[in-house]
Amino acid sequence: MTSTIPTVPLRILVQTDRTLRRLLTVTLVDTLGRGAFFTLTTLYLTLIVGLEPVTVGIGLTIAGAVGVASSLVFGHLSDRFSARRMLVILHVVQGAALIGYLFVRDLPTLVIVASLVLLAQQGGGSVRSAVVGRAFRGEDRVRIRATMRTVTNVGIGVGTAVAAIPLALGTPFAFHLTMSIAGSLFLLSAVLVAGLDPQRVDLRRQAPDADTAAPASVAVRSPYRDPRFLWLTALMGVFGIQFGVFEIGVPLWVVAHTIAADVVVSPLLLVNTVVVVLLQVRMSRGTGTFAGAGRAMTRAGWLMVGACLLWAAAGWIGGEGLGPATAVVVVLFAAAVVHSLAEISSSAAGWSLSFDLAPQERMGSYQGVYGTGYAVGAMIAPAVVTLTAIDLGTAGWAILAAVFAVAAAGVVLIARRADAAEVR
C-alpha cells in the first residue's frame, strides 16, 4: 500500500533524522572506497599482478554469478535476523576482501576474493533496501533512495578522481596503498552501521493474536508466489539493461561507429554522473504513489526510446571538418542527457513500486528478489548490447528501443492496476 503520510522538506528530514544522516554518511564512505578501488581493479590485475585479460574476465564473471545469488540470500536473511548486524558483517567482509586483492596471484585466488567482494556488495544492497523500506514510509522512501543515489554518484566521482593518482604514478606501492585505504573505508563504515537504531532498521516481530491474524497471513506471503512482483522484477531488470548500454555500448559505439574523437567518451560518462547528481532527487518527487510511479515510468520509456534514436543518429553523421565533428558531438551529448533522464525516472518508479508492492514483514525478501532482476540484467547487458547496437547498428538500436518501450509499458500497466486496486 502506498502511504499518504505528509512529507517534510528533505533538508529538514536530514537535519532531524539521525538514522538518515548515518545512512547517507555510510553511503558516502562506501562509494568513495568503491570509486577508487574499482577504477584500479582491472589495471591492477593485468599490469601489476600480470594476469591475462581473459583470466580476469573469467574470474569476475564467476564472481558476478555469486553476487546475483547473494542478493536473494541476504534479502531473505534480513527478514529473519538483524539487518543492522548483517550490514556490519558484510562491510567487514567487503573491506577485508578488497584488501585481499593484494594477495591475488592466479585465477583461483581471484575467484575467491572477487566472489567475497561481490557477495558482500550485492547482499549488502538488498539489506540496505530493506532497511530503507522499514525505517521510512511513503514518498520519504523514494526521496531517500534518490538522495542516496545522488550521494553515491558524488562518492564514486571523487573516488575515481583519487584513483588517478596511483594510475599516474604506476607503481605497485601506489596501487597497494590506495587499494588498502579503499578497503579500510568499508571497515570504517562497519563501525558507522553499528550505530544505526535497531528499532528503526530491524524487523520488529509481535506475537500473533486474534486482532493480528490477517496481517500474519500476509507476512508468510513469498515474493516467489507474487506474480505481480515477479513481473515487476523481470521488467525492471530488462529496462535496467540501459545501464549496460551507457557503460559498455556507448564507448564502443563512439569509438567504432562515429566520427567523434575517442576522448569524447569520458565527458559523455561524466554527463551521466552530473545529471544524476543534479536531478535525481528533484525528478523523484511525486513518485511515491502508484499513479506517480506509473507516470514516471511512462516518461522513462519515451526518453529511452529517444535516447536510442539519438545514439543511432550519431552514427549517421559523416564527413570531415569542424561542422560534422561538432554535429556528432552535439548529438552524442544530447543522447547522454536524454538517456540519463530516462535512468533517473525509471529508478524512481522502480524504487516506489518495489517498496509499495512488498509487505512490510517480508521487505528483505522482496528487495532481494527485486535486486536480482537488476543483477541479471547487468550480467546479460554486455551480450545484449554488443549483439544489437554494436553488431547491427541502427537496426540494433531500434531493437533496443522497442525492448525498452515494451518493458516500460509493462511496468506502467502494473502500476495502474495496483493504483486501481488501492482505490477500490
pLDDT tens per residue across span 215-235 = 444 445 788 888 999 999 999
Half-sphere exposure of 2 (CA within 13 A, CB side): 25
Measured at the CA of 83, the angle between CA 81 and CA 85, to 5 degrees, comes to 85
5 pLDDT above the threshold of 90: no
Name residue, grid cell 559523416: 318
Q: How far apart are CA 236 and CA 314, in angstroms?
A: 27
Q: What is the per-residue pLDDT for 217?
A: 40
- Mean per-residue pLDDT, 124-141: 82
The per-residue pLDDT for 8 is 58
Pick 381 or 204 by higher pLDDT: 381
Q: How confident is the model at residue 10 (pLDDT cuts 50, 70, 90)?
A: low
Phi and psi torsions of 351, nearest 5°: -60, -50
pTM above 0.95, yes or no: no
Residues 110 and 323 sit within 8 Å (Cβ to Cβ): no
Closest CA to 151 of 282, 28, 278, 22: 28
- % pLDDT > 90, the chain: 40
Is the distance from CB of 398 to CB of 94 less than 8 angstroms?
Answer: no
User: Quick one: which of 263, 326, 28, 313 has its CA closest to 154?
Assistant: 28
Average pLDDT over residues 58-87: 83
How confident is the model over 154-198, as pLDDT tens digits?
898 888 888 888 888 889 999 999 999 999 999 999 999 999 888
Compute the chain's Rg from CA coordinates. Answer: 22
265: pLDDT strictly greater than 90:
no
Burial of residue 63 (number of CB atoms within 10 Å: 0-12, 13-18, 19+): buried
Q: What is the mean pLDDT of the chain?
A: 86
Higher pLDDT, 108 or 424: 108
- Measured between alpha carbons, how far is 101 from 107 in angstroms, rounded to an integer? 12
Question: Residue 258 and residue 26: Cα distance in Å, rounded?
Answer: 41
Q: Is 152 left (phi over 0), alpha (psi -120 to 50) or beta?
A: alpha
Grid cell digits, residue 295: 507516470
Check residue 321 and give its pLDDT: 82
Percent of the chain that is helix, strand, coil (3-state, to 5): 85, 0, 15
List all residues 6 or more positions away from 345 whose beta carbon is below 8 Å from its beta carbon.
283, 296, 297, 299, 300, 303
Give φ, ψ of 28 to 5 degrees: -65, -45
Answer yes or no: is pLDDT of 358 > 90: no
C-alpha cell read off for 92: 567487514
**3-class DSSP assignment, residue 52:** coil
